[in-house]
């Protein structure tokens, strides 16, 4: 993260398979929280966790994961997300889980529109009240959905490398809908999804936007800004001010203009 000039990140943590294999949720989270605090102390990087309640294991498991989160209530664990295999369960099956999470003050996000159509994204935003949509590659099929996401300021978490790898709606970088979404004014956040699996980092994700999708340097800086304001950081203006200083230094170092 340090090599990519990351100073704040929200990390998806999927515990279900580990629990199924006999690991203890509390021990896992306590270990992660300790590492998060060490990272803050050593490198000044702030890390927050979003726990994947996971549709791959069904609604009952999802509620169990939420209850585990609520029992611990670490400040580093700020919310839940609906990840896992999208076609294994519609968002509507998880309404009770997400309602309980929201009532408890947790932030909520959902992976949607990666393997399913725009109707799945509609369910995520209308029934789950998801504050961000992960992937969202099928939203381009529904202009009304694009308009809704824009007008309601619901960001899409863009994962170019991951989307090309899975290949459902995006077969090559040049065809990724991020260019269209940006031009339509949708709020966006650029992400790596699974950096170890896809052997990618955040810098390379931004490089692909420039290389394959004709994003200018100014537009990439704007996407970084959008990512800051799409986050759940409690003081986004302060975070962006810190990022602007880093961007200025990088531009000055390499003589970058636009």
Rounded distance, CA 39 to CA 6, Å? 12
Q: Kindly list the distances between the CA atom of residue 238 and the CA atoms of 25, 140, 156, 211, 234, in Å, as whole numbers in the listed order.
A: 33, 33, 22, 30, 9
Distance between CA atoms of residues 28 and 128, nearest Å: 27
What pLDDT, in 10s, does the model give residues 65-120? 999 999 999 999 999 999 999 999 999 999 999 999 999 999 999 999 999 999 99
Positions annotated as catalytic residues are 114
Confidence of residue 258 (pLDDT cuts 50, 70, 90): low
pTM: 0.96
In the structure encoding, which two tokens stand for residue 119, read together?
Answer: 């109707």
Q: Span 237-257, mean pLDDT?
A: 93
What domains can be seen in the chain, in order of their start residue?
A: 2-250 (3.20.20.140)
Average pLDDT over residues 52-70: 97
For residues 107 and 98, the answer to whether their CB atoms sit within 8 Å is: no
Q: Convert 135-169 to b/e letters by CB count within 10 Å (16 or more is b).
A: bbbbbbebeebbebbeeeebbbbbbbbbbbeeeeb
């Amino acid at each position: 993260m340090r090599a990519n000039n990351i100073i704040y990140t929200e990390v998806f943590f999927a515990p279900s398979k580990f629990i199924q294999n006999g690991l203890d949720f509390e021990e896992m989270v306590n270990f992660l929280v300790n590492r998060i605090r060490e990272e803050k102390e050593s490198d000044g990087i702030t890390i927050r966790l979003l726990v994947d309640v996971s549709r791959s294991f069904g609604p009952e498991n999802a509620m169990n994961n939420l209850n585990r989160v609520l029992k611990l209530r670490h400040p580093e664990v700020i919310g839940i997300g609906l990840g896992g295999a999208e076609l294994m369960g519609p968002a509507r099956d998880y309404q009770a889980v997400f309602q309980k999470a929201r009532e408890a003050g947790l932030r909520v996000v959902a992976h949607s529109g990666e393997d399913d159509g725009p109707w799945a994204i509609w369910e995520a935003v209308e029934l789950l009240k998801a504050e961000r949509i992960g992937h969202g590659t099928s939203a381009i099929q529904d202009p009304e959905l694009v308009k809704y996401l824009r007008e309601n300021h619901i960001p899409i978490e863009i994962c170019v490398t991951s989307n090309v790898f899975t290949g459902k709606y995006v077969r090559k970088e040049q065809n990724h809908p991020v260019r269209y979404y940006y031009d339509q004014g949708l709020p966006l956040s650029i992400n790596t999804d699974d950096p170890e699996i896809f052997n990618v980092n955040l810098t390379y994700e931004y490089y692909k936007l420039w290389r394959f999708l004709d994003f200018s340097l100014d537009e990439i800086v704007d996407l970084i800004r959008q990512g800051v304001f799409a986050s759940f950081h409690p003081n986004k203006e302060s975070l962006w001010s810190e990022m602007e200083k880093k961007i200025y230094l990088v531009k000055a170092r390499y003589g970058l203009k636009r």
